[in-house]
Amino acid sequence: MADAVFLALTVITIGSAIAALELRSLIYGSIALMGTLGGVAGFFFLLDAPFVALFQLAVYVGSIAVLILFTVMLVKRELIFKKIEDKRRKFAGIGLMLVTMVALGAVFLDSGIKTITTDEPATDFRDIGTDFVMYYWPALILMGLILAGSVTGALVLAKREDVENDQRAN
Amino acid sequence: MSVIAPNFKLSEFIKSLLDNAFWGLLLLVLVGVPAVFMILFFIEMPVINGELLTPFLALTWLADPSRILPVVHAFMATDIFRVMAFPGFGFAALLAAATIFVERKMLAKLQLRVGPFYCGKFEGILQLMGDGLKLISKEIIIPAKADKPIFWAAPVLFVAAAASFVAFIPVAPGWVVADVDLGLLGVFAVIGFFPIITILSAWSANSKFPFIGGIRALFQMVSFEIPLILSLLGVVMLTGSLNLSEIAASQSSFPWIVFLPIGAIVFFITMLAELERIPFDLPEAESEIVAGWLTELSGMMYGLVQLGTYLKLYAFAGLFVVLFLGGWNGPMVVPPFPAEILTDGIVMGPVTAKIPGLPLFTQEMLNGALWFVLKTVAVIFFILLPRGVFPRIRIDMLLNLGWTKLIGLAFVNIFIALGLLYAGVLGPGGLQ
């Protein structure tokens, strides 16, 4: 059962990654990118990490893909890119990528990772949180400072009032 | 008098109904029943408990409550029932339909209008059914230069996303479609899909007004998602859980709105913005950009988007109830199931019917569902109310509100929650 789901997720992820790179329509390309990111979220579900999976969905599919989609919609691609249609180069590129991935996969499988078996239960996200507060607190504080800085920056950007319009009454 | 149907007479309407019933019955007796028996003549019926299963015997069994009730019980325990009927789609769609009618009628009364009046003879009570029939029977027009696959898929995806949002809402103890450990995170993930569907639908119509509306919807939803998530973190900190059922059960003595009123207010305002309701209905501003991102949708595609919108409204109101108003918790007002029916059966004169399998629902479940529905209806009322009162605000004021004021208030709410937790008012050793 899990193997079938894993295979389906693999096909979805790799297929939509290829589509995201190769499709001529930028909108469909970014939809395919959403498929790739959703497939990765599916892998996290299979690995018993629903916390990471749901954050992957909420952040990557919900926010970053929207950002890309929105940017792409406002771009007239004819003005930026010159079309170079070359079927052979395209398929050579896809083939090269697949060969590289298969080679990397073979290296991983050969490294003895399949012989590791474990009966330990999946790590609870609460334990990860406790670890963050107990042992990795400098990293946590650093992340907190970076996030606070970015939020403050966003607030400052949102609050700028250098653009004045006399026709508007506040 | 009705202007729409000037020649309408109630007596003739009843006569036509009776006529139809008469002809239907006549056809059934003269054609339908003989046809069924002719078919049965060629089918070999099974023998059950030494009795030949004739149609009469089958009907007798079907009418016997002691045989049917266990089947109903077993069906109610299945996932299909939960998804389709009670805490899931059917229940939510019923509440959504009631919301549409109440909204139109209440808005009319607020603005000293009449509202739906002619359909159904009494206060336009059948208006919704009429609108539904109209939408189903109308032609679906696709703009010539639209991107067809996305344009077709968007309304369906919208309803699907709204229905999956509904699936997370617990209605009564144990009555929830998806009782997942990380329910609130799932809700955030589902809310993140709405702007994608909106902007894709708007772009694929290949028309100005939908695109302007879609961009407005995207700005509004993405910028209000952040205060929405931040305003709910206080509840998560106090509860120590992301499971919506556990959050609802944790409020048995106090609802969280008592301790976190700022979070509740911020969540309510972001809820109005996510639902595109007045005063934040810029994406469908009908006096500026026709109907916003819904302009090119017609027929049942528009109907599906409306259904999705009102399902989303119910789900947001239910989420507010679960997180801040105590969910299903409330004083026990439903009377217990009469015990003499269980022991003696139902006595009707000389006949006594003993029915095993009753009661169908426990007292706790009925009480919980009652309180949940009452609170949800109250929240929906407060969501509808601004529509009769406020004007639409400008997009820069909206974004300013979302990015500066609401995020700041959400952080204040988080610090209040932390203070309550560390001061020992709540949490271990505290009130709850």
Kindly determine whether residue A58 and residue B196, on different chains, have CB atoms separated by under 8 Å.
no
The pLDDT tens digits for B132-190 are 888 888 888 888 888 888 899 999 999 999 999 999 999 888 888 888 888 888 898 89
Contact B190, B281 (CB under 8 A): no
Kindly determine whether residue B218 and residue A62, on different chains, have CB atoms separated by under 8 Å.
no
Q: What share of chain B is helix, strand, coil (3-state, %, to 5)?
A: 65, 5, 35
Q: Which of A62, A70, A168 sits opposite B192 (nearest CB)?
A: A62
Supply the DSSP string of B110-150, one letter for each residue: HTT---S-STTSSTTTTHHHHHHHHHHHSPPPPPTTS-HHH
pLDDT of residue A127: 82
Tell me the chain B residues in contact with residue A155 when contact means C-beta distances shorter than 8 Å: 403-404, 407
Question: Distance of CA B291 to CAs B148, B208, B355, Å?
Answer: 20, 11, 55
Select from B155, B424, B136 the least CA-distant residue to B308.
B155
SS3 category, A121: coil
- The distance of B88 to chain A (nearest Cα, Å) reads 21
Kindly determine whether residue B185 and residue A34, on different chains, have CB atoms separated by under 8 Å.
no
Kindly determine whether residue B180 and residue A50, on different chains, have CB atoms separated by under 8 Å.
yes
Q: Using 50, 70 and 90 to split pLDDT, how confident is the model at B1?
A: very low
Contact B327, B249 (CB under 8 A): yes
Among the residue ranges B134-143, B329-338, B403-412, the one predicted with the least confidence is B329-338
Kindly determine whether residue A27 and residue B147, on different chains, have CB atoms separated by under 8 Å.
yes
The pLDDT tens digits for B350-375 are 777 777 767 777 888 888 889 999 99
- The distance of B265 to chain A (nearest Cα, Å) reads 21
Kindly determine whether residue A155 and residue B403, on different chains, have CB atoms separated by under 8 Å.
yes
Residue A168 above 60 pLDDT?
Answer: no
A2 vs B50, which has greater pLDDT?
B50
Contact B148, A18 (CB under 8 A): no
Give Cβ neighbours of residue A29 (< 8 Å, ≥ 6 apart): A19, A20, A21, A23, A72
Tell me the chain B residues in contact with residue A151 when contact means C-beta distances shorter than 8 Å: 407
Select from B331, B340, B374, B332 the least CA-distant residue to B359.
B340
What value does the mean pLDDT of chain B take? Answer: 85
The Cα B374–Cα B148 span in angstroms is 42
Contact A29, A73 (CB under 8 A): no
The pLDDT tens digits for B238-285 are 888 888 888 888 888 888 888 889 999 999 999 999 998 888 888 888
Q: Using the structure block, give the residue that is written with the tokens 């959703």.
A: A38
The pLDDT tens digits for A28-54 are 888 899 899 999 999 888 888 888 888
Residue B242 corresponds to which tokens in the numbers above? 């992301």
Kindly determine whether residue A66 and residue B150, on different chains, have CB atoms separated by under 8 Å.
no
What one-letter code names the amino acid at B216?
A: R
Average of per-residue pLDDT across B391-417: 87
Average of per-residue pLDDT across B214-224: 87
Residue B93 corresponds to which tokens in the numbers above? 């769609």
Contact A155, B404 (CB under 8 A): yes
Kindly determine whether residue A158 and residue B222, on different chains, have CB atoms separated by under 8 Å.
no
The Cα B227–Cα B410 span in angstroms is 6
Contact B100, B128 (CB under 8 A): yes
Instruction: Calculate what percentage of chain B has a pLDDT beyond 90.
Output: 19
Tell me the chain A residues in contact with residue B394 when contact means C-beta distances shorter than 8 Å: 168
Alpha helices in B125-243 (DSSP H): 127-137, 148-166, 183-191, 193-204, 208-239
- The distance of B72 to chain A (nearest Cα, Å) reads 31
Kindly determine whether residue A73 and residue B192, on different chains, have CB atoms separated by under 8 Å.
no
pLDDT of residue B157: 92
Tell me the chain A residues in contact with residue B225 when contact means C-beta distances shorter than 8 Å: 62-63
Measured between CA atoms, the residue of chain A closest to residue B194 is A62
Q: What are the extents of the domains in chain B?
A: 142-422
Kindly determine whether residue B404 and residue A62, on different chains, have CB atoms separated by under 8 Å.
no
Kindly determine whether residue A158 and residue B150, on different chains, have CB atoms separated by under 8 Å.
no
pLDDT of residue B374: 92
Interface test with B, best of A56, A57, A76, A156 (most B CBs within 10 A): A57
What value does the mean pLDDT of chain A take? Answer: 81
- Give the pTM: 0.81
Enumerate chain A positions whose Cβ falls within 8 A of a Cβ in B. 27, 31, 34, 50-51, 54-55, 57-58, 61-63, 65-66, 69-70, 73, 151, 154-155, 158-159, 168
Measured between CA atoms, the residue of chain B closest to residue A28 is B150
Q: Using the structure block, give the residue that is written with the tokens 């894993």.
A: A6
- The distance of A89 to chain B (nearest Cα, Å) reads 29
Among the residue ranges A95-104, B42-51, B90-99, B372-381, the one predicted with the least confidence is B42-51
Residue A167 corresponds to which tokens in the numbers above? 């026709």
- The distance of A148 to chain B (nearest Cα, Å) reads 11
